[in-house]
Structure 1
Amino acid sequence: MNSTTRNKMIAGAADLMSRRGVNATSMRDVVRHTATPRGSIGHHFPDGKPQLIAEAVMFAGKQVSIPLEKSLNELGAIAGLKAFVVSWRRRLVTTEFEAGCPVLAVAVDHYVGEPSDKAEALDAAAQDHLLDLANGVFADWQKIMHAALRREGLPAPRAKRLATLVVASIEGTVALCRAARSALPLDQVQQELELILSDTLSQTSE
């Protein structure tokens, strides 16, 4: 049971969370989904499901933040946003709109532990910790977009508001796409975000 097994379980948990939510993702489901040894749960995650979910949130955050930052650095704010949307569109389409964002799942799902976790106080502590992690991931994505907009000359307060708008819009639209089983909402939101950014940046350059 090596680090590869551990990483596989973390990625598998993030994938299941994106499809089912947090509470419908059990440790047993993760083992089945990843075809890993059942004994690996206690070995790699001695604190149980809260530890695995927390690791999955951080993993999911990096899966977005790393390519997002790379795209924005290389392509600029508008083209980088387009690449960001394309990656979400691809994930939605390839999973037939089954998979959304595991970080959002943590934000909207009230954590309930495994049946073996009897203490409600532990569930409450886990809920607070997971919300803090999700908030940190969203904040990281906003900081990355904020930095890109600042590089193109936007004042810090406006860049911050627009960064929040972009992240909130994409996250919310992913949910709309799953419900509609269509990428149309994402395409529409992308067009509007690009118009907003284009108009704002053109005013800045004048």
Structure 2
Amino acid sequence: MTIGLVLLATLLLICSCGAGVLAYIFRKKLTAMHGMLFAMSLAMGIGLFGGLLIGIIYQGNLLLSTVIGMGAGFMTGIIIGSFYSFLALLEGMLSGMMAGMMGAMLGEMIMPTDWDKTIMIMFTIASSICLLIIFEIFAHVKKQSKLIRIYQNPFIIGPIFVLLCLLLYSQAPFFTEWIPHKSPHH
């Protein structure tokens, strides 16, 4: 793995942990429907990204990558859903398993030349899910600090998010040593 890929995975882990911690802290101010939505969407984003990444790393071993991807989404759904209700837990668990399976299959099927693009697309989707969850949680906070108000301004946070994604995409290629090179024909 390259430094850029480790950076992507670390940033997504930090962002999803931040969304999970905020969901836990403000769980009393939010409804059970919010919990179901948070568990389902966060487990889906992490399951897709994790399944895709593991599917690419363990190319050719679909069973292992599917089990690991499903496990990542499953655990995320259980953790976030357990803050709210059994239905939120069940919804997050099932959505995470399904997304992990789909991510692993996608990682197995795409061409090696498209690995970087697909990883960046999935990172953008998963991190935007985390940021939207944080945005929704902050909307229910009564006493908002200046930092929260800045975060809720789409004209400030939108360009920052786009610039961050462009900066991270400039770290590509993420999988240089695994792409098979074709030898020149004589």
TM-score by length of 1: 0.32
